[in-house]
């Protein structure tokens, strides 16, 4: 059961880390991470605070673009290039193919985010002489990794029935709403005085769409005075939520993909 999944995942990683568009995004992100300290100097605010925010912003944005770009073309490309037929004519079930592709995408994402994390650590440790801050940022980046894995599962699920370009904007839109608008919609949903239709929309967004916001740890890292009461419990909850949501997305994707005419 697992051998085909692992083989497909490995092949997916091999392809993903050679995709020029992803390498360009990664290259730009790494360059920006290197020049980030210069921008901190130019800022009127506390230099390290600006640098931390900027670095996390670069990692998050570039990882999100990589996660979406990586996954939206994954299944359509396999169909277009007919690779899927040679694979599905072997003793491979469709769900194994889908899971293998997803795990490959997540592994490739881990490699690329790992590179950005290394650059961040070196930057804070060697250039800024602040290893503890660097290590703290790594924790933030690892939360981003869970967030991006969740985003990749959403894009992967959508790719089973939506065209790549539509999927790109749809996944991007879901990510933006789930990141920036989640808290707003959640409070709206809980407001008893809100109109019914607005509440319905707010309920949909805050219940059905994934809560990407819980992985955004910039606030605490940028402003140390902001405290999470039990950080470990918070992280565990966020990871469990992510794992649960990823499982739902993959199961939905499998069910759709299983009936899809390829």
Partner 1 sequence: MAAAIETKKLTKSYKSKAHGMVDVVSDLDLHVEEGEIFGFLGPNGAGKTTTIKMLLSIIEQTSGEGYVLGHELGDVEVHKVISYVPERPYYYEYMTGMEILKFYGSLFGITDTARMDMLLEKVNLHRDKTKTISQFSKGMQQRIGLAQALLNDPKLLFLDEPTGGLDPIAHREIRDLILGFREEGRTVFISSHELSEVELICDRVAIINHGVIARQGKLTELLKGGRVELSVTGVDKGILSGMSIGDGNIHDTPGGILFDVPEEADINSIIDGVRANKGSVLSVVPRKKRLEDLFVETVTAK
Q: Which residues contact 252 (CB under 8 A, 6 or more apart)?
A: 157
Residue 69 Cβ vs partner 1, minimum distance, rounded to whole Å: 18
Nearest to 73 by CA among 201, 6, 166, 211: 166
Residue 74 Cβ vs partner 1, minimum distance, rounded to whole Å: 13
Q: CB-wise, 4 or 172, nearer to partner 1?
A: 4
Quote helix, strand, coil % in the chain, to nearest 5: 85, 0, 15
Q: CB-wise, 7 or 170, nearer to partner 1?
A: 7
Q: CB-wise, 97 or 145, nearer to partner 1?
A: 97
Q: CB-wise, 14 or 195, nearer to partner 1?
A: 14
Q: Which residues contact 15 (CB under 8 A, 6 or more apart)?
A: 104
For residues 176 and 171, what is the distance between their CA atoms, to the nearest angstrom? Answer: 9
DSSP tally for the chain: helices H, then strands E: 12, 0
- 131-158 vs 94-122: helix axis angle to the nearest 10? 160
Q: Hunting for tokens 């949903």 — which residue is that? A: 189
Residue 112 Cβ vs partner 1, minimum distance, rounded to whole Å: 17
Residue 224 Cβ vs partner 1, minimum distance, rounded to whole Å: 45
Give the CA count within 13 Å in the CB-facing half-sphere of 180.
Answer: 8
Residue 255 Cβ vs partner 1, minimum distance, rounded to whole Å: 15
Q: CB-wise, 45 or 81, nearer to partner 1?
A: 81
Interacting residue ranges for partner 1, rule: CB under 8 A? 3-4, 6-8, 10-11, 14-15, 18, 81-83, 85-93, 261-262
Residue 46 Cβ vs partner 1, minimum distance, rounded to whole Å: 45
Q: CB-wise, 11 or 107, nearer to partner 1?
A: 11
């Amino acid at each position: 059961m697992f051998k085909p999944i692992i083989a497909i995942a490995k092949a997916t990683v091999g392809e993903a880390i050679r995709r020029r568009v992803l390498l360009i995004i990664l290259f730009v992100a790494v360059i920006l991470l290197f020049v980030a300290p210069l921008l901190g100097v130019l800022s009127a605010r506390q230099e390290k605070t600006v640098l931390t925010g900027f670095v996390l912003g670069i990692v998050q944005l570039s990882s999100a673009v990589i996660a979406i770009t990586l996954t939206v073309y994954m299944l359509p490309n396999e169909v277009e290039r007919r690779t899927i037929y040679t694979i599905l004519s072997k003793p491979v079930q469709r769900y194994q193919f889908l899971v293998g592709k997803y795990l490959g995408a997540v592994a490739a994402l881990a490699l690329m985010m790992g590179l950005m994390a290394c650059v961040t650590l070196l930057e804070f440790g060697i250039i800024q002489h602040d290893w503890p801050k660097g290590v703290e940022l790594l924790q933030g980046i690892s939360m981003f990794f869970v967030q991006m894995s969740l985003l990749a599962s959403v894009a992967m699920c959508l790719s089973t029935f939506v065209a790549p370009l539509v999927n790109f904007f749809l996944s991007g839109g879901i990510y933006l709403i789930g990141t920036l608008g989640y808290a707003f919609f959640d409070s709206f949903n809980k407001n008893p005085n809100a109109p019914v239709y607005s509440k319905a929309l707010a309920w949909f967004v805050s219940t059905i769409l994934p809560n990407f916001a819980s992985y955004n740890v910039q606030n605490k890292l940028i402003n140390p005075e902001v405290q999470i009461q039990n950080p470990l419990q918070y992280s565990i909850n966020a990871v469990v939520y992510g794992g649960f949501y990823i499982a739902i997305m993959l199961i939905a994707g499998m069910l759709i993909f299983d009936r899809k005419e390829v």
